[in-house]
Amino acid sequence: MKRVLNRLDSVHQKLSTTVAAIDPNLFPKRPAEDEWSVAEVIQHLCLVEARTLRGLELALHAPAARVSPLKKLIPPIVSVRFPRVKAPKAVEPLNSLPKEESLSSYNDVRAQLKQFCTKHGRKQLNQASLRHPFFGDIDGVTAVSMLAFHELRHYKQIRGILKKLGQPL
């Protein structure tokens, strides 16, 4: 579990450092009408992590489940930005917050997730099962690992947004 949490921290640190340097007026700006702003990406990440945490909490109270070991191969695939995938309605950003508030909310959800993972450990999370909207049933460790790769995917997206907005990286 430690390796999974270290990956979460590593990706989160890169993303947080990049976003912290963005001008607050640029934060909500979309590079095009049909593309998300950095604010919307951060809100999406926050919604996904909060939803995953709620799913894990519920899964631990359900009977232990067995998920195909092949599902453990999925997380790295999530970081690839091709093909473009439309977010499920439940995690689409709606009304993004100002930069500092948005980052604070995201950091709070991440801290809660890490605390939950540390408290329950790999063994319990391996027995928990939650339904991913694209990949079906996955175990809790895979879900947490997938979050790091999901964040990496969106870190790349943020860098692309900044490039389109003419911001140096």
Q: Helix 140-164 vs helix 99-127: angle between axes, to the nearest 10 degrees?
A: 150
Which residue is associated with the tokens 């911001």? 167
**Where does the chain show beta strands of DSSP type E?**
129-132, 136-139
By residue count, the chain amounts to 169
Cα–Cα distance list, 130 to 8, 32, 53, 66, 108 (Å): 19, 34, 10, 11, 22
Q: How far apart are CA 70 and CA 43, in angstroms?
A: 30
> Domain ranges in the chain?
2-164
The DSSP call for residue 96 is P
Going residue by residue through the chain, which has 169 residues, state the pLDDT in tens, using 9 for 90 and above.
Answer: 889 999 999 999 999 999 999 999 999 999 999 999 999 999 999 999 999 999 999 998 887 767 777 666 666 666 665 566 777 787 888 888 899 999 999 999 999 999 999 999 999 998 898 888 878 888 899 999 999 999 999 999 999 999 999 887 7
Residue type, 38: V
Largest CA distance in the chain: 51
Query: Contact, 63 vs 128, CB < 8 A?
Result: no
Out of 2.60.120.620, 3.65.10.10, 1.20.120.450, 1.10.10.10, select the CATH number for domain 2-164. Answer: 1.20.120.450
Question: What are residue 129's phi and psi, to 5 degrees?
Answer: -130, 130
**Does pTM top 0.85 for this prediction?**
yes
